[in-house]
Amino acid sequence: MLSFLRRELQMSSALVSKLKFRNAYFLDGEPVFTDQKVAIGQEITVHIEESPQEEFPPEDLPLSILYEDESLLLVDKPAGLVVHPTWNRLTGTLLNRVAGYYVKTGQKCAVHPVNRLDRDTKGVVLLAKNAHVHALLYGMQRAGKFQKTYHALCCGAPPEKQGQVDAPIRRAGENTMLRCVSEDGAPALTEYQVLEEQDGLCRMEFMPITGRTHQLRVHCQYLGCPILGDSMYFTEESERISRELGFVGQALTAYRLSFPHPMTGEMVTVESRQDIFLPNS
């Protein structure tokens, strides 16, 4: 039993020990210990239940669910909503809504976000329902097994309609959240294509290969086509047009997320219901 848990299910030794005292292991429906011998054809069941974290006070507020099973929850975050509570803001975030949903539906799950979006970026957010699944997903993400697709509205258009931006990114200064392209920055690679153009604006699709902070926003500014509504990475023209069109916050959507299911290996592909389009298109 123990070798199966550690090798096949890739459970950490800490988690295996923790669950041992919760009567979480079953063989063909009967409770067993980790030293139980198993044979081909027998069914092993592991019950992983967690209590909601105290740092995520549950709130019964709207939550747009795109996909859910016993291991995963994918939700469609609206623009303007912070994902994670902070030391001075413990409520009013996406994770508070997720915690509230688990309480409302009677699920003994903790809140484990896998990907995070900026406050004003809308779209797909993936959460694991327990620490084991979270660790598996985190490892997949670091190994490059996640395929992320973003859509944005930009001021102007890049010189080439399709290509790559290979431009390192670093923090612009010690006391700022701003990032900039710099030779001494961390490697940052983004694939892009222009989907459509209209009246000096364009709708673009991005597939980030790396995951640097503000990567797409910085790379758009570097290409000369900043994202509309972006108050950090802009030009005078993009600021003017954003103001005229009423964009508040960057016009950026985490549109699609594809990844192997951590338990079955089958590909999961989820798309946001909040795709973004050019005005009057």
Residues 6+ apart with CB under 8 A from 104: 60
Element (H, E) at 220: helix 215-223
Residues 6+ apart with CB under 8 A from 142: none
Sign of the CA dihedral running 30, 33, 38, 41: positive
Nearest to 249 by CA among 274, 234, 225, 231: 231
Report, as residue numbers or ranges, the catalytic residues: 118
CB atoms within 10 A of CB 173: 9
Side-chain-facing half-sphere of 245: CA atoms under 13 Å:
24
**Residue pair 190/215 in contact by the 8 Å Cβ criterion:** yes
